[in-house]
Structure 1
Amino acid sequence: MVDDAASERLRLRNRQKQKRHRDRHNAERDALLAEVADLRRSLRRAAKLSARRSKPTSTLVPWTAIAATLAEEASEAEATRVALNTHRERLEKLSRSLASMVSTVARGVPMQAEPWNSIALVAEPCARQLGLDWFTRHLHANTERMLQLSAFPCDGAVKDTVVRDCGNGVADLLGRIQIEYSLSLETAHAALRGRIWDELTGVNSSCAVEPLDMDLVARIEHPSCMTYLRSAISADESNFFVAREVRTRDRVVFAQGNFTQDASQPANLQWRPRMYWYVLDRIGPHRTRLRAMLYNGPKIRAGTLVPWQRDTGLMNLTAAPDAEALDFDTFRRLVRRHVQPIMDVDYTALLLPEASPESMATELLDLA
């Protein structure tokens, strides 16, 4: 009986223990299920809230407000544009002034003189023809080099005289002209061609001019036009000028240079190398730029270079001043005083009446 009672107590205790385990398990399960249900409800609420927020809302602004804002911004932009244009114009004016000043100031480092101080034309006809052809081709081939040497500003009118100190008593002179026309290259060329050729052939020169070797020049293959002439300055000095016009699609070049001696003419006892370029460039459908470069080298007398201190021709003096008292700045001032009025006349001769079609028609009629 005792064993039966003990066994019964053991079974009762085990049943109670199992019941406690079941109750604890059921309580945990119910808590988890309740948490799952709560999470599901939260998820549904979040989904509904997200759906409401994702619905498009009206962001339209009245057109009057937009127009007012744009008008305000446009006024500010216009004021900024005007200020920037004023600043740009001021900088351009300053740049042109600085470029002109720098180009006319003597260079600190002495520069070598041009090597074409003595070019003679022989008497033999075939060699003369080759010499005329070669020299004009040489001048045309050096057009870009001369443009770089002349250092023209990018725009604006130019009519000045640059006197360069090349060192060792050598000085040379470069006259510069730049004009822009509101005309096509073809129209500007038609209006200027006669004027430029008048300059190259000495129509208005005070010196006696004599055409040379016209039949020989006519046999030279050239793109447009060519001349060779003698311009007598004095009994012992003449310029033997050869000139050529070369046309391309966007550029027309008039180039002229002088031989220091011509074997078929009286000998020169003194001479001065001279080379001239007139360059017409197309810079727009109805815009053309003329740049003229008028180069005069140092005086050569009896085969000897005359130093600038004694170059009375450039200074337009009858006698050379005291060499010790003459500095280069004074020499430059004397040369400009003599040459600049000539440059002003040349500049005026190259101006075109662009005010009306009638004035241009009259100009072209006069040329014809």
Structure 2
Amino acid sequence: MTTGGPLVDEDEARILHKRRLTREKMQRYRKGIVRKSSTLKHQAVDLQREIERLLARQTTDKSPWLLSWADVARALRDDSDATRNTNGILRQLVLQQDREIRTIRSWVHGCQVLPNSSWRNVSLLEHPQARKHGIDWITQHLYHNTDRVLEQYAFAAVGSGVQIDDDTIIDTSSPDCFQYVWRDQRDMDVPFDVAARALTLDFFHSLLAHGTPLAAIPTDVEV
């Protein structure tokens, strides 16, 4: 009986030691769990603060010009539509100008010899824009020949103050006809627009030899 006592004590001691190791291991495990949980809680708080900071910064720094992808796509589509419309208008304009060029070219080919008579005898095209170009062309010819005509018929220099009233010149240099020139010249201290409005078609008709008076003259019943 005396030999069994130490073996029992050794087994019990081994069991107690094992239990102690297990208990210490569990304590270390629980402490690790507590530390990890505390760390995760702190990280969660930090992450929440970072989210709040980023959201506040996004709200503060958000540009009013920042567009969504849908807005960008819509703007690009609208720009593409506007470009196609402009391209169509330009194509129509090219075709229209091409027709005008062909019409004016045919008119120019029909006037190979410059007329030496009055421009009143020159015909114009029916096409509205081509007709406008024809009027501009005639006007440019008249303008560039102004100095030559004034010199040919001995008009005084502009600004000279010389006034010519109802002066006539008869040109008999041609054996087939004679040219009757009626000269009037005066300087008017008025704006150009006022003078241009005064030079109406009725005004020039009154200068013609066969011109008619601008207004009817009442008949004197006593005559």
Higher strand share: 1
TM-score where L is the length of structure 1: 0.21
TM-score where L is the length of structure 2: 0.33
Higher relative contact order structure (alpha carbons within 8 Å, sequence separation ≥ 6): 1
Higher helix share: 2
